[in-house]
Amino acid sequence: MSLGITQTKVRRTLGIGVAVMLGSVALPAFADEPTLSDEAFETSKQIYFEQCAGCHGVLRKGATGKSLEPYWKKTKPDGTVLEGGTLALGQERLEKLIAWGTEGGMNDFSEIMTEDEIRDMATYIMMEAPKPPEMSLAMMKETRKVYVEEADYPTEPLHGRNWENFFVVIERDVGKVAIIDGDTKEVLTHIPTGYAVHVIKASEHHNITEPETPGRFWYTMGRDGKMTKIDLWQTPDKMLVSEVKIAYDARDVAVSGDGKYVIGGGYWPPHFVIADAVTMEPLKVVSTRGVNVDGEYVEEARVAAIYTTPNQPTWLVSVKELGQMWQVDYSDLDNLRIDVIDSAKFLHDGFFDPTGRYFQIAANASNKMVVVDTDERKLEAMIDTVSKPHPGPGANWNDPKCGPVAGSTHLGTGAVTVWGNDPEGHPDNAWEICYVTETDGPGLFIRTHPNSDYVWADQTKHPDPEVRQAVQVISKETGEIVKTITITEQDGHAAVHFEFNADGSEVWVSNWNLGDSKEPNGEIVIFDAKTLEEIGRIKGLYAPTGKFNVHNRSNHVT
């Protein structure tokens, strides 16, 4: 089989002979082991980091996505031996999977990668995965930069705007965050942050303590492990006040309830880092490598979601591959207390119930929603769902039959699953499925607001462009879809993520450019939350994805 490589080949062996290693696995006939030129290998490695590692892992052992190891062998509890790998799939089959995606939630990359990049990626994942280096606390400290000293922080907003209705918007592929005035709809600034910021968090109103100005300071976490601090009281040109790099690949960040510390979680190295929230000086690093719920040691035990518990001086740290929630008490960093809560793999993202006591998180490859009682620091429940739940920031509302409920979209199927989440007032319905609404396609995000009659769900993971360019609106009263809204008909674009403004009168949806976003070719589409009619578009944005309203996020509005 020709791999289409015409440059001088640089041999990167798999460490042992392919024929010996694969045993009985049927393989395509290779004249030589899969190889790439140095340039193609490095390009593919970078694309893999940007597009693939989040689901499949840096070491390609799989998580939300399947294993992409050249060869794997597993023994089931009943003794059955399973074997497979990318070498068994072969070049042609891999190219088709990458280009076309799958119904199970894998993207169609034909609009994101060129034919040459797809060809080289197919070859790259048949080669042994390169292992990234480690990162010490001393190395992290060397990356810290301060742009505005604490002594120069203003004592009141310098711009005279209603900053509590600002939107902090991820401009994914250009490594920036836009600040938008929610009242005037003006884009105030584009702040350079880490690459492909995944999550942005602010200090919140909590029951245990209340920082002086909840929502003023925001912390971003880039896919490249760069954590930045933003001050919304500054003039737009000075809102970036400091930064530090805590990993090479990362996803989430959170601020302690007292506003003293910020925590960042690493995909690689697999660890979390606690830093001073004022100075951004890294203080403590804790490895998350360990033994998973199946009794197997996991080197790439990544930190996915991190959330501040509203009622306790703790963070919840989801260790994805271990199938564990770690409740980390920040009241004494020298004697760090960590309560390990076993649940299911692979923990990804979640949200609190309205009381702030129960945390609901997707173990998406296990097809479960996991519920943690943060007051008791123990597992409360596990809810079986359809394929691969993914609630994003989640949604809570009241159902006429089941009482208080929560819901999730799914990566693997077109559905919104709704379950009861009020064990005090509605114990018979608590942690039981209330209903499932079938949607047109799998999606990433679901969102609502206490003042809204509707729940919004996207379909971003569907391979059909017409489906992923539309969102669906579900009635809280009936659980039925009342409207399907096409956000865009532009090639290579998708509708993704929702956020309401402070009073719940508007819904903001991202028109996300999936391809090259070096130019501002994305936008936010705004709808009237009651009439569901479009009322405006904010242009001049670079691949906008997640949006975070200051009032809603700092006041725990879900």
> Residue 67: its pLDDT value, please?
86
**Distance from CA of residue 6 to its chain's centroid?**
38
- The C-alpha atoms of residue 262 and residue 275 are separated, in whole angstroms, by 5
Q: In terms of Cα–Cα distance, which of 293, 303, 314, 304 is closest to 374? A: 314
Residue 67 inside a domain? The answer is yes
* Cα–Cα distances in angstroms (integers) from residue 180 to residues 155, 186, 197, 498, in the given order: 22, 6, 17, 15
Residue 538 has pLDDT above 50, yes or no: yes
- Reported as type and span, the H/E element at residue 551 is helix 550-554
Residue 309 has pLDDT above 90, yes or no: yes
Mark whether 106 is an active-site residue. yes
- The C-alpha atoms of residue 180 and residue 171 are separated, in whole angstroms, by 12
Mark whether 390 is an active-site residue. yes
Quote the mean pLDDT of the chain.
90
Q: In terms of Cα–Cα distance, which of 277, 272, 275 is closest to 288? A: 272
Which residue is catalytic, options 190, 206, 390, 493? 390
Q: Residues of the chain with pLDDT > 70: what percent?
A: 92
- The C-alpha atoms of residue 255 and residue 220 are separated, in whole angstroms, by 11
Q: What total number of domains does the chain contain? A: 3
How close are the terminal C-alpha atoms of the chain, in Å? 53
- Domain extent at residue 495: 162-192+439-558
Q: What is the largest CA-CA distance in the chain?
A: 70
Residue 398 inside a domain? The answer is no
Q: CB-based burial of residue 424 (10 Å sphere; 0-12 exposed, 13-18 middle, 19+ buried)? A: exposed
Peptide bond into 393 cis (omega under 30): no
Average pLDDT over residues 53-60: 84
Residue 165 half-sphere exposure toward CB, CA atoms < 13 A: 17
Average pLDDT over residues 344-368: 95
Q: 10 Å Cβ neighbour count for 115?
A: 11
Whether the CB-CB separation of 242 and 148 falls below 8 Å is answered with yes
Strand partners, 370: 361, 382
Residue 4 inside a domain? The answer is no
Average pLDDT over residues 70-93: 86
> Residue 8: its pLDDT value, please?
27
DSSP 71-121: SEEEE-TTS-EEEE-HHHHHHHHHHHHHHH--TTS---GGGTS-HHHHHHH
For CA atoms 6, 100, 514, 488, the dihedral sign is positive
> Residue 207: its pLDDT value, please?
67
List CB contacts of 109: < 8 A, sequence separation 6 or more: 51, 98, 99, 101, 118
Max mean pLDDT range (29-38, 62-71, 214-223):
214-223
Residues 444 and 474 in one domain: yes
Q: Of the candidates 324, 342, 360, which is a domain's last residue?
A: 342
Which CATH number does the domain housing residue 216 bear?
A: 2.140.10.20
Residues 145 and 284 in one domain: yes
Q: Of the candidates 342, 368, 384, which is a domain's last residue?
A: 342
Residue 91 has pLDDT above 70, yes or no: yes
Average pLDDT over residues 358-372: 96
Angle, CA 243 vertex, CA 203 and CA 210 arms, to 5°: 15
Residue 496 tokens read as 């993704």
Residues 462 and 556 in one domain: yes
* Strand bridging mode 176-181 / 544-549: unpaired
> Residue 23: its pLDDT value, please?
35
Q: Residues of the chain with pLDDT > 90: what percent?
A: 73
Residue 350 inside a domain? The answer is no
Residue 517 has pLDDT above 70, yes or no: no
Read off the pLDDT of residues 161-189 as tens digits, 9 standing for 90 and up: 999 999 999 998 889 999 999 999 999 99
> Residue 104: its pLDDT value, please?
65
Residues 27 and 54 in one domain: yes
Residues 172 and 260 in one domain: no
The SS3 assignment for 247 reads coil
Residues 100 and 145 in one domain: no
Residues 166 and 220 in one domain: no
Which residue is catalytic, options 56, 198, 462, 556? 56
Torsion angle, alpha carbons of 462, 463, 466, 470, to 10: 20
Residues 71 and 202 in one domain: no
Residues 143 and 274 in one domain: yes
Whether the CB-CB separation of 250 and 220 falls below 8 Å is answered with no
Residue 132 has pLDDT above 60, yes or no: yes
Residue 17 has pLDDT above 50, yes or no: no
Q: 10 Å Cβ neighbour count for 335?
A: 7
Residues 465 and 487 in one domain: yes
Residue 6 inside a domain? The answer is no
> Would you give the DSSP letter of residue 210?
-
Which residue is catalytic, options 52, 113, 121, 434? 52
Residue 526 half-sphere exposure toward CB, CA atoms < 13 A: 16
> Residue 12: its pLDDT value, please?
33
Mark whether 221 is an active-site residue. no
Mark whether 140 is an active-site residue. no
Residue 544 inside a domain? The answer is yes
Residue 223 inside a domain? The answer is yes
Whether the CB-CB separation of 487 and 467 falls below 8 Å is answered with no
Which residue is catalytic, options 190, 206, 271, 348? 348
Q: In terms of Cα–Cα distance, which of 308, 377, 317, 327 is closest to 348? A: 317
Q: 10 Å Cβ neighbour count for 10?
A: 12
Backbone angles phi, psi at 64, to 5 degrees: -60, -40
Q: How big, in percent rounded to 5, are the helix, strand and coil portions of the chain?
A: 15, 40, 45
Give the model's confidence band at 103: pLDDT under 50 very low, under 70 low, under 90 confident, else very high.
low
Q: Which of 77-81, 130-134, 152-156, 203-207 has the lowest mean pLDDT?
A: 203-207
| More confidently predicted of 22 and 232 | 232
> Residue 297: its pLDDT value, please?
95
- The C-alpha atoms of residue 257 and residue 206 are separated, in whole angstroms, by 6
- The C-alpha atoms of residue 542 and residue 138 are separated, in whole angstroms, by 34
Give the model's confidence band at 14: pLDDT under 50 very low, under 70 low, under 90 confident, else very high.
very low
Residue 210 has pLDDT above 70, yes or no: no
Residue 354 inside a domain? The answer is no
Read off the pLDDT of residues 237-255 as tens digits, 9 standing for 90 and up: 999 999 999 999 999 999 9
- The C-alpha atoms of residue 159 and residue 147 are separated, in whole angstroms, by 19
Mark whether 280 is an active-site residue. no
- The C-alpha atoms of residue 194 and residue 39 are separated, in whole angstroms, by 24
Residues 91 and 142 in one domain: no
Mark whether 434 is an active-site residue. no
- Reported as type and span, the H/E element at residue 140 is helix 137-142
Whether the CB-CB separation of 522 and 511 falls below 8 Å is answered with yes
Q: Of the candidates 314, 342, 370, which is a domain's last residue?
A: 342
Residues 41 and 120 in one domain: yes
pTM to 2 decimals? 0.85
Which residue is catalytic, options 106, 280, 325, 402? 106
Read off the pLDDT of residues 284-303 as tens digits, 9 standing for 90 and up: 999 999 999 999 999 999 99
